[in-house]
Structure 1
Amino acid sequence: NQKAVTQFTETKNQNVRILSIPFHQGDTTIDIIGTSIIPEFGAIAALVLAIAIISIIAVSAKTGLRFMPKY
Protein backbone atom coordinates (compact mmCIF):
# COMPACT_ATOMS: atom_id res chain seq x y z
CA ASN A 1 0.00 0.00 0.00
CA GLN A 2 1.81 3.08 -1.27
CA LYS A 3 1.32 6.25 0.76
CA ALA A 4 1.10 9.51 -1.16
CA VAL A 5 2.74 12.62 0.25
CA THR A 6 0.26 15.49 0.21
CA GLN A 7 1.33 19.09 -0.15
CA PHE A 8 0.16 21.41 2.60
CA THR A 9 0.23 25.09 3.42
CA GLU A 10 1.52 26.45 6.69
CA THR A 11 0.43 29.72 8.25
CA LYS A 12 1.98 30.87 11.50
CA ASN A 13 2.44 33.86 13.76
CA GLN A 14 3.79 34.30 17.29
CA ASN A 15 0.95 32.34 18.92
CA VAL A 16 -0.55 29.96 16.35
CA ARG A 17 0.62 27.54 13.68
CA ILE A 18 -1.99 26.31 11.18
CA LEU A 19 -1.42 23.46 8.72
CA SER A 20 -3.97 23.25 5.90
CA ILE A 21 -4.06 19.74 4.42
CA PRO A 22 -6.35 19.10 1.45
CA PHE A 23 -7.88 15.61 1.21
CA HIS A 24 -10.58 13.85 -0.79
CA GLN A 25 -14.09 13.44 0.60
CA GLY A 26 -13.85 9.64 0.72
CA ASP A 27 -10.52 9.55 2.57
CA THR A 28 -10.84 8.01 6.02
CA THR A 29 -7.28 8.13 7.38
CA ILE A 30 -4.65 10.84 7.45
CA ASP A 31 -1.20 9.80 8.71
CA ILE A 32 1.06 12.59 9.92
CA ILE A 33 4.64 11.33 10.20
CA GLY A 34 7.91 12.85 11.28
CA THR A 35 6.49 14.71 14.24
CA SER A 36 7.61 15.05 17.82
CA ILE A 37 5.65 15.91 20.92
CA ILE A 38 6.53 18.14 23.82
CA PRO A 39 5.28 16.87 27.17
CA GLU A 40 3.11 19.24 29.15
CA PHE A 41 5.07 18.59 32.33
CA GLY A 42 8.82 18.23 32.19
CA ALA A 43 11.25 16.10 34.12
CA ILE A 44 11.49 18.67 36.91
CA ALA A 45 7.76 18.39 37.64
CA ALA A 46 8.06 14.59 37.85
CA LEU A 47 11.04 14.95 40.21
CA VAL A 48 9.13 17.37 42.46
CA LEU A 49 6.16 14.98 42.55
CA ALA A 50 8.40 12.03 43.46
CA ILE A 51 10.10 13.99 46.26
CA ALA A 52 6.71 15.08 47.62
CA ILE A 53 5.37 11.52 47.67
CA ILE A 54 8.51 10.18 49.37
CA SER A 55 8.35 12.99 51.94
CA ILE A 56 4.71 12.25 52.75
CA ILE A 57 5.47 8.55 53.18
CA ALA A 58 8.48 9.29 55.41
CA VAL A 59 6.59 11.77 57.61
CA SER A 60 3.56 9.50 57.96
CA ALA A 61 5.77 6.53 58.90
CA LYS A 62 7.66 8.59 61.48
CA THR A 63 4.62 10.25 63.10
CA GLY A 64 2.19 7.34 62.84
CA LEU A 65 -0.14 9.40 60.66
CA ARG A 66 -2.85 7.21 59.13
CA PHE A 67 -4.84 8.07 56.03
CA MET A 68 -7.31 5.25 56.59
CA PRO A 69 -9.03 4.93 59.99
CA LYS A 70 -8.19 1.89 62.12
CA TYR A 71 -11.12 -0.31 63.11
Structure 2
Amino acid sequence: MNKNPLSPKKLLLTKWTAVNPRNREKHFVVTRVIEPVPPSMRVEQVELEAVHSKQVYLLHWRELTDTSLWRQGWV
Protein backbone atom coordinates (compact mmCIF):
# COMPACT_ATOMS: atom_id res chain seq x y z
CA MET A 1 0.00 0.00 0.00
CA ASN A 2 1.51 3.31 -1.08
CA LYS A 3 0.72 6.48 0.81
CA ASN A 4 0.06 10.08 -0.22
CA PRO A 5 1.81 12.45 2.23
CA LEU A 6 -0.94 14.64 3.68
CA SER A 7 -1.70 17.08 6.45
CA PRO A 8 -5.35 17.22 7.56
CA LYS A 9 -5.18 20.99 8.03
CA LYS A 10 -4.31 21.49 4.34
CA LEU A 11 -7.04 19.28 2.86
CA LEU A 12 -9.80 21.88 2.47
CA LEU A 13 -10.77 22.31 -1.22
CA THR A 14 -8.32 19.66 -2.44
CA LYS A 15 -9.42 17.51 -5.39
CA TRP A 16 -9.48 13.70 -5.38
CA THR A 17 -10.16 10.88 -7.83
CA ALA A 18 -11.59 7.58 -6.61
CA VAL A 19 -9.61 4.62 -7.98
CA ASN A 20 -12.79 2.49 -7.92
CA PRO A 21 -15.74 4.84 -8.59
CA ARG A 22 -19.04 4.12 -6.85
CA ASN A 23 -22.35 5.10 -8.45
CA ARG A 24 -20.35 6.57 -11.37
CA GLU A 25 -18.87 9.12 -8.97
CA LYS A 26 -15.18 9.53 -9.60
CA HIS A 27 -14.17 13.11 -8.84
CA PHE A 28 -14.47 14.68 -5.39
CA VAL A 29 -13.58 17.86 -3.50
CA VAL A 30 -12.92 18.13 0.23
CA THR A 31 -15.56 20.68 1.25
CA ARG A 32 -15.07 20.57 5.00
CA VAL A 33 -12.47 19.51 7.52
CA ILE A 34 -14.44 18.48 10.59
CA GLU A 35 -12.99 20.16 13.65
CA PRO A 36 -12.78 17.93 16.73
CA VAL A 37 -14.42 18.63 20.06
CA PRO A 38 -12.52 19.56 22.15
CA PRO A 39 -10.20 21.53 19.83
CA SER A 40 -7.12 19.99 21.44
CA MET A 41 -7.94 16.66 19.75
CA ARG A 42 -6.70 15.73 16.27
CA VAL A 43 -8.72 16.18 13.09
CA GLU A 44 -10.20 12.80 12.17
CA GLN A 45 -12.78 13.31 9.42
CA VAL A 46 -13.46 15.31 6.28
CA GLU A 47 -16.48 15.78 4.04
CA LEU A 48 -16.02 14.87 0.40
CA GLU A 49 -18.48 16.16 -2.18
CA ALA A 50 -18.94 14.36 -5.49
CA VAL A 51 -18.48 16.85 -8.32
CA HIS A 52 -21.20 15.42 -10.54
CA SER A 53 -23.98 14.51 -8.09
CA LYS A 54 -23.12 16.89 -5.20
CA GLN A 55 -23.56 13.89 -2.86
CA VAL A 56 -21.61 14.41 0.39
CA TYR A 57 -19.63 11.64 2.09
CA LEU A 58 -18.01 11.60 5.52
CA LEU A 59 -14.56 10.01 5.43
CA HIS A 60 -11.69 9.47 7.80
CA TRP A 61 -9.03 11.76 6.29
CA ARG A 62 -6.31 9.09 6.51
CA GLU A 63 -8.16 7.00 3.92
CA LEU A 64 -7.04 9.59 1.36
CA THR A 65 -3.43 8.52 1.95
CA ASP A 66 -4.15 5.07 0.48
CA THR A 67 -3.20 5.21 -3.21
CA SER A 68 -5.09 1.97 -3.89
CA LEU A 69 -8.30 3.94 -3.10
CA TRP A 70 -7.58 7.60 -3.94
CA ARG A 71 -5.44 9.70 -6.28
CA GLN A 72 -4.79 13.35 -5.50
CA GLY A 73 -6.11 15.66 -8.21
CA TRP A 74 -8.56 14.84 -10.98
CA VAL A 75 -7.17 12.05 -13.11
TM-score, length-normalised on structure 2? 0.20
Higher helix share: 1
Looking at CA atoms only, which structure, 1 or 2, has the larger radius of gyration? Answer: 1
Higher relative contact order (CA 8 A, sep 6+): 2
Higher strand share: 2
TM-score, length-normalised on structure 1? 0.21
